[in-house]
A and B are shown apart, each in its own frame.
Chain A
């Protein structure tokens, strides 16, 4: 059993270690811990409770049995650029100075991991726990040359920071992008993290981000996933919020053969607030699996989650929302809602709210619904001359709108709307 489990991990390690760069921003202690964890636990199969619907061991055995890590250079990312934002580009997991905008904004510091000072290095892996998940371990062992983005105290950026992760390979490959995003006290920023896969080969992206929201700081973050058929990814966001801090994330998933999101938010001090919103639209054999964790550790915090999914053909959608309310977290407000539409009889939705509450004075609620398209509404639209396809589009658009409207960057919102409609 153990041997069976670890073969996949061992295979990955063998295949990617020769071409992986030196990960010297991660101390040896963590590195050996990561390798040890992989050796012992391996890549999760669907027997693992957290990966019940997302058999990654199976994916590696089937889709990535010929990894050869021949990655392509990328020289042109213009078509992905947004007009009104600064762009940071990561190619195959590594920060690209040439493709990224020169950041000359006051109060904004960007350092590639290879340039981190001692203090910076200490942040790497400080909140993402290697021993909590195989993909955190895998990223730690083989992390690309990511970056540390710091918004200095009291700096409020209006202009969004667009972080574009481009991966390209003509054969099977694994990339491990990683970053640290840190907002100092009273800082504010909007970041857009977008993942694209170009090139002919399948790319598995094992993304890891550690986000620190400082005291009274506000981080608005968007995750835009549109990797196409060749994209497979596990995306881990580990977030910690300080007093009066606020973290908002909206994750839009429009394509990708497999998209697994692990969004873990720790409300680590009093009076902080977190919002996670998600929208996915899946078809053919896609799997979109959103796992969230809201960890309420201190009193007077609020969290809110709204996830909406549309599944068509044989696709599978998963929402698993864990809420911990620890014993000190009195006066917690935590809400969670997951709504889904099944467009085909062969598509599936699995939802599971998991509430663990150890404090007594809290308000928590969760709701989940899965249904088909409202045929009475379709008929009403038909009766006004609107064809079935347009009627469906109008209704799905209406369904998705609640999440799309959370996007406050107009340019991104329009792009998402447009692509969302094309995907239907």
Chain B
């Protein structure tokens, strides 16, 4: 699905990603954990194509294509989805109009016709139900005045609507109560299949009780310092991030 090789990225003259290697296959769920500031959001942003970051080394192959050569919209059209850690509020653009535009631009890219309005509305209804999103939110402006939890659920709703091949969830669980957490996890699990893959970025083990990862990676100071199975998350939870910091402090320059 995606192969990341020796990825380095910086902002200004500050290097943030210092050689990331990661291979994700269809059907897999990967968790990325790590203390604040280690570069998790930077990695997601670089993959999604945010231009603030400069990739200085490395390559990313996404379904046979050179991902870094693609514009952000083409990455999305190719099936990459990022659930933002901080979803953006867009006053005046209705959620529904926004999604309709997104769905149809993706379809146009694939050479498909516009989705008939009736089908689109049916899809909206179905996916809203999945993430238990209040129907009223669909008609409101994108994320405007949404609570933290609503914003995160809206991200999962959009993911469900766009049905991506690779979804990266950047701390979608942070700030969620246990109910919202369950809803988000239900959404992900319902969408999960053999053809797609998920990257779940999180601080805490608790989300991983609901979305069980095949692999867990620890990102620290711009590098993946440790990888393992789902038990690594439990270990991390037990030891705390301070242990990790101590263990790998000397290695990072």
Q: Which residues of A contact B (CB under 8 A)?
A: 374, 376-377, 379-388, 390-391, 394-395, 397-399, 401-402
Contact = CB atoms under 8 A, between A and B. Distances in A.
Given A395-B90, A399-B92, A382 B71 contact: yes
A402 B91 CA distance: 11
Contact of B88 (A377, A388, A394, A398): A377
B84 interface: yes
Nearest to A379: B50
A386 B90 CA distance: 14
Judged by DSSP, the binding face of A is: helix
A401 B94 CA distance: 12
Contacts of A394: 90, 93, 97-98, 101
A402 to B, nearest CB: 7
Contacts of B91: 398
Contacts of B93: 394-395, 397-398
Contact of A385 (B50, B84, B87, B162): B162
Interface of B: 48-51, 71-73, 75-77, 81-82, 84, 87-88, 90-93, 97-99, 101-102, 105-106, 109, 141-142, 158, 162
12 contacts: A374-B88, A379-B51, A381-B101, A383-B48, A384-B76, A384-B102, A385-B77, A385-B162, A386-B101, A397-B92, A398-B90, A398-B141
A391 to B, nearest CB: 8
Contact of A388 (B73, B82, B98): B73
Nearest to A393: B101
Contacts of A377: 88, 90
A145 to B, nearest CB: 44
B90 A384 contact: no
A390 B72 CA distance: 13
Contacts of B84: 380, 383
Contact of A390 (B76, B101, B141): B101
Nearest to B158: A384
A380 B45 CA distance: 11
A385 B92 contact: no
Contacts of B158: 384
A375 B158 CA distance: 20
A386 B105 contact: yes
B87 A380 contact: yes
A383 B90 CA distance: 14
B76 A382 contact: yes
Contacts of B49: 382-383
Nearest to A402: B92
Contacts of B101: 381, 386, 390, 394
A383 B76 contact: yes
Contact of A383 (B82, B92, B142): B82
A376 B158 CA distance: 18
A379 B48 CA distance: 9
Contacts of A399: 92
Contacts of A388: 71, 73
Given A382-B71, A385-B106, A385-B162, 14 more contacts: A376-B88, A379-B72, A380-B84, A380-B87, A381-B90, A381-B98, A383-B76, A384-B158, A384-B162, A385-B102, A385-B109, A386-B73, A386-B102, A394-B101
Given A384-B98, A384-B158, A390-B101, A398 B76 contact: no
B102 A398 contact: no
Contacts of A382: 49, 71-73, 76
Nearest to A401: B92
A384 B73 CA distance: 7
Contacts of A380: 84, 87-88, 90, 142
Contacts of B109: 385
A376 B45 CA distance: 12
B129 to A, nearest CB: 21
Nearest to B77: A385
A384 B142 CA distance: 12
Contacts of A386: 73, 98, 101-102, 105
* Residue among B50, B81, B92, B158 with most chain A CB within 10 A: B92
Contacts of A402: 92
A378 to B, nearest CB: 9
Contacts of B81: 383
Nearest to B89: A377
* Residue among B72, B76, B101, B162 with most chain A CB within 10 A: B72
Give the top 10 A-B pairs by smallest Cβ distance, nearest first: A398-B92, A385-B76, A382-B72, A380-B88, A384-B102, A385-B106, A382-B73, A398-B93, A385-B77, A387-B73
Nearest to A391: B73
A416 to B, nearest CB: 16
Contacts of A387: 71, 73, 105
Nearest to B88: A380
A49 B49 CA distance: 48
B133 to A, nearest CB: 16
A176 B141 CA distance: 45
Contacts of A374: 88, 90
Contacts of B73: 382-383, 385-388, 391
A395 B89 CA distance: 11
A92 B122 CA distance: 53
A384 B71 CA distance: 12
Nearest to B102: A384
Contacts of A395: 90, 92-93
B105 A385 contact: yes
A400 to B, nearest CB: 9
Contacts of B99: 384
A376 B50 CA distance: 9
A80 B55 CA distance: 54
Contacts of A376: 88
Given A376-B88, A399-B92, A383 B72 contact: yes
Contacts of A398: 90-93, 141
A381 B77 CA distance: 12
A88 B158 CA distance: 50
Contacts of B71: 382, 387-388
A384 B91 CA distance: 17
Contacts of B97: 394
